[in-house]
A and B are shown apart, each in its own frame.
Chain A
Amino acid sequence: MSLYEELGGEAAVNAAVDIFYRRVLADAYVIRFFEGVDMEKQAAKQKAFLTMVFGGPNNYTGKDMREGHKHLVAQGLNDSHFEHILAHLRSTLAELGVGTDKIKEVIDIADSVRADVLDR
């Protein structure tokens, strides 16, 4: 069973997006990359991303991830910001009661998109 099913499918991802996005917006170190962004559109993208890392149905392509972050890389997006986002994902999962092993699994999948996000 995928973590997506284990957590409770789409409704659980919606709850996770709220927690995750709220943590991200409260983080002064990364907030500048989210300024002026439409909240609902951003939440929809995060939902697609979390669905993917939880092993739910997705049509993730590295190309979208690369294109979508290029302008941010030009503004200085780097590994340190990526680490912050991973940390927020980790604490979101912990808040949802996901076990340590599963969290590591999810973080490994999320980490696998690093090169695409940072356009390397």
Chain B
Amino acid sequence: MPIITFEENDYDCNQDETILECLTRHGQTIPSGCQSGVCQTCITKAVKGVPPADAQQGLKDTLVAQNYFLACVCKPTSDMEIAIDKSISQDIAGTVVDKSCLNESVMRIRLQTEQPVDYVAGQFINVKQPNTDITRSYSLASLPSEDALELHIKRVPDGKMSGYLHDDVQLGDTLMFNGPSGECFYTDSNIEQPLLLIAVGTGLAPLYGILRDALAHGHQGDIQIFHGSLAVQGLYYMDELYALAEKNEHVHYTPCVLHGDAPRDGQQGDIQQIVQQSIPDLKGWRVYICGDPAIVKSLKQASFMAGAGMSDIYSDPFEF
């Protein structure tokens, strides 16, 4: 069993356990976000020992050469001494300029930064809670041409970060974040290709950005957007989406609810079945799926089986 040395303490790492899991099990918290090796929040340096290569995927060559790795996907094979270098991830400060309820459990927060942030609609940022090690990833619903970054925050029961963002943060407060990162965004490689966007809950945030980004790029192919929730109270941005569908002939918006009456143009039932019945054959389509990880996983497989190519399916990489 490898021994992990961190801040002068030794911790035993179980087989199949990541360094992040090992430290957490021993009551040590280090900054982390996506838990999937994507957001790079948990970047850690091996002071002694060599990190497995697959824990360095996606890191810049210069960081790999210095034995940096991602703790959330690092299953050590031998003893390691590790350290956190806080200078690596460059934090950006954002001022809260808007805080409004989109429905009973989703809060919209807009952040303005001094310098424009370089990003593509649909990417995510890692927001830090002041005076703690808590970091959470939130997708951007805004476009870079807009004057603020827009986040949709779902209140999670007993959620520390979502509770903080819903209840405590005030207009004018500063939030620190890093990123943006992520591969789930629009590219204009084929503007004729039909697009299927499936959002569940606040998975609408990145897709609202991606939809408007596609339109801004002059996308010509059909764009079908489905937004699912348990009931109509869980949907939001309905007026905005109805308006986009009315203004653009090739945009079709289907609000979906599991329970209760479906709203105008909407359907009642399981979102996966609704999509399957609406578009049985996805050959040639590009598919974006965002929201609850379990539903995303199942929708990804269903889209693939319905004919979408593996490389044409995009989704949010992070756990909530």
A interface residues, Cβ below 8 angstroms from B: 14, 17-18, 21-22, 25-26, 39-40, 43
In whole angstroms, what is the CA distance A62 to B309 when docked? 29
Q: Are A22 and B311 in contact (CB under 8 A)?
A: no
B305/A40 in contact, CB under 8 A = no
- CB-CB under 8 A from B310, the residues of chain A are 14, 17-18, 21, 39-40, 43
Q: A39-B310, A43-B310 are in contact. Are A22 and B300 (CB under 8 A)?
A: no
State the main secondary structure of chain A at its contact with B. helix
Chain B interface size band reads under 10
Complex Cα distance, B304 from A21, in Å, reads: 9
Contacts A40-B310, A43-B310 given; does A22 touch B301 at CB 8 Å? no
User: Given contacts A14-B311, A21-B310, is CB(A39)–CB(B301) below 8 Å?
Assistant: yes
Pair A25/B301 contact, Cβ less than 8 Å:
yes
**In the bound complex, CA of A17 to CA of B300 (Å):** 16
Alpha-carbon distance between A100 and B3 when the two chains are bound, in angstroms:
54
Which residues of chain A come closer than 8 Å to B297, judged between CB atoms? Answer: 39
Expressed in whole angstroms, the minimum distance between the Cβ of A16 and any Cβ of chain B is 11
Nearest-neighbour CB distance to chain A for B294, whole angstroms, equals 11
Write 21 A-B pairs (CB below 8 A) sorted by A numbering: A14-B310, A14-B311, A17-B310, A18-B304, A18-B309, A18-B310, A21-B304, A21-B310, A22-B304, A22-B305, A25-B301, A25-B304, A25-B305, A26-B305, A39-B297, A39-B300, A39-B301, A39-B304, A39-B310, A40-B310, A43-B310
Residues of B within 8 A of A22 (CB): 304-305
Q: Max chain B CB contacts within 10 Å: which of A17, A21, A40, A43? A: A40
Task: List residues of B (265-320) whose CB comes within 8 Å of A's CBs.
Answer: 297, 300-301, 304-305, 309-311
Q: How far is the CA of A17 from the CA of B310 in the complex (A)?
A: 9
